[in-house]
């Protein structure tokens, strides 16, 4: 039986959305490491994902997704080990689209429909991009007159200055509003997990410590967001210099897919990047 599933991918700029899709596209084509989901057959336009897969294999950073070339609807026909077939549809949008939604309080009708109709949301957070809130007690003491003058000069830029968790909670509130409270599976993916794994082991713990407001919001709305947390290193390390990329490739010559690291809710590690997607489509079928 074929199930149609639609997932929505949400995340601010540089959250790791496209990097995840590039590792996913590569993983689905290789046969060396077992994955929960397999490519069943080609469907739709595969060129975008095929290009991402090539980029991943070469350990090259993906290009940032501009609003002009964002993908509103990619599709994959996948099957799991029990031979359930899933037609999974998802977008690869630019983080700027979500920033605009946050600042302008507006959303395109087609995007709103994708959010309303989807069964699962993958929300990406890059630990290296988190803007943390500043406590009033941490601000430097300034004479009142000077502070007022400075505030007139320095214009606040909400997308740069507002804490990441505030922006994400606002976007999730929009999701709740659009879906009129309909339950939705929410998969929170901490990307670039290779940059945090030395001192954090459990992805949910990372969220509760680094993004406590977001974590409280999710806990408060458990009846609406059925949430799972994953740590994912789609690249396996940094691609910042050609030497770093070459090292990653040479360390995993036989099984390149083992560069990928996925840490589940319990802190268990694997190389299966299809797990978060499988959970998003499977949680729905269990309901």
Ligand X SMILES: Nc1nc2c(ncn2[C@@H]2O[C@H](COP(=O)(O)OP(=O)(O)OP(=O)(O)O)[C@@H](O)[C@H]2O)c(=O)[nH]1
Tell which one of 5, 6, 10, 11 touches ligand X (CB under 6 A): 11
Q: Which does 239 bind (CB under 5 to 8 A by kind): Mg ion, ligand X, none?
A: ligand X
Q: Which residues contact 199 (CB under 8 A, 6 or more apart)?
A: none
233 contributes a contact to ligand X by CB under 6 A: yes
User: Between 276 and 284, whose beta carbon lies closer to Mg ion?
Assistant: 276
CB of 35 to ligand X, least distance (A): 17
d(Cα 226, Cα 185) in Å, to the nearest integer? 5
Q: Which stretch binds ligand X (CB under 6 A): 30-38, 188-196, 203-211, 248-256?
A: 188-196
18 contributes a contact to ligand X by CB under 6 A: yes
Residue 253 neighbours by CB distance under 10 Å: 7
Size of the site for ligand X (CB under 6 A): 26
Q: Which residues contact 191 (CB under 8 A, 6 or more apart)?
A: 15, 16, 19, 20, 124, 125, 126, 127, 232, 233, 234
255 contributes a contact to ligand X by CB under 6 A: no
CB of 60 to ligand X, least distance (A): 9
d(Cα 123, Cα 188) in Å, to the nearest integer? 5
Q: Which stretch binds ligand X (CB under 6 A): 212-220, 221-229, 230-238, 274-282?
A: 230-238
Q: Which residues contact 203 (CB under 8 A, 6 or more apart)?
A: 188, 190, 193, 229, 230, 231, 263, 264, 265, 267
d(Cα 274, Cα 37) in Å, to the nearest integer? 6
User: Between 120 and 127, whose beta carbon lies closer to ligand X?
Assistant: 127
| Residue position matching structure tokens 């409270």 | 181
195 contributes a contact to ligand X by CB under 6 A: yes
Q: Number of helices (H) and strands (E) in the chain: give both, helices first.
A: 11, 9
Residues 154-173 that bind ligand X (CB under 6 A): none
Contacts with ligand X, residue ranges (CB under 6 A) = 11, 13-19, 61-62, 64-65, 94-95, 124, 126, 191-192, 194-195, 233-235, 237-239
């Amino acid at each position: 039986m074929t199930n149609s599933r639609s997932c929505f991918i949400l995340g601010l700029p540089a959250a790791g959305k496209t990097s995840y899709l590039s590792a996913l596209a590569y993983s689905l084509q290789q046969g060396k490491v077992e994955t929960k989901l397999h490519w069943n057959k080609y469907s739709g336009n595969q060129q975008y994902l095929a290009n991402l897969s090539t980029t991943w294999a070469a350990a090259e950073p993906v290009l940032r997704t501009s609003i002009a070339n964002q993908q509103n609807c990619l599709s994959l026909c996948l099957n799991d080990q029990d031979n359930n077939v899933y037609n999974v549809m998802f977008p690869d949008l630019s983080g700027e689209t979500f920033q605009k939604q946050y600042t302008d309080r507006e959303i395109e009708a087609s995007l709103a429909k994708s959010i309303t109709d989807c069964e699962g949301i993958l929300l990406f957070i890059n630990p290296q991009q988190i803007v943390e809130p500043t406590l009033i007690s941490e601000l430097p003491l300034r004479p009142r007159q000077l502070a007022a003058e400075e505030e007139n000069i320095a214009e606040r830029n909400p997308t740069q200055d507002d804490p990441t968790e505030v922006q994400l909670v606002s976007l999730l509130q929009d999701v709740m509003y659009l879906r009129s409270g309909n339950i939705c599976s929410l998969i929170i993916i901490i990307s670039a997990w290779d940059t945090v794994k030395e001192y954090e082991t459990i992805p949910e713990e990372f969220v509760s410590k680094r993004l406590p407001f977001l974590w409280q919001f999710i806990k408060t709305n458990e009846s609406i967001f059925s949430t799972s947390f994953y740590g994912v290193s789609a690249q396996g390390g940094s691609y910042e210099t050609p030497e770093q990329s070459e090292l990653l490739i040479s360390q995993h010559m036989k099984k390149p897919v083992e560069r990928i690291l996925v840490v589940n809710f319990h802190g268990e590690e694997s190389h299966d990047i299809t797990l978060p997607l499988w959970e998003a489509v499977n949680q729905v079928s269990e309901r």
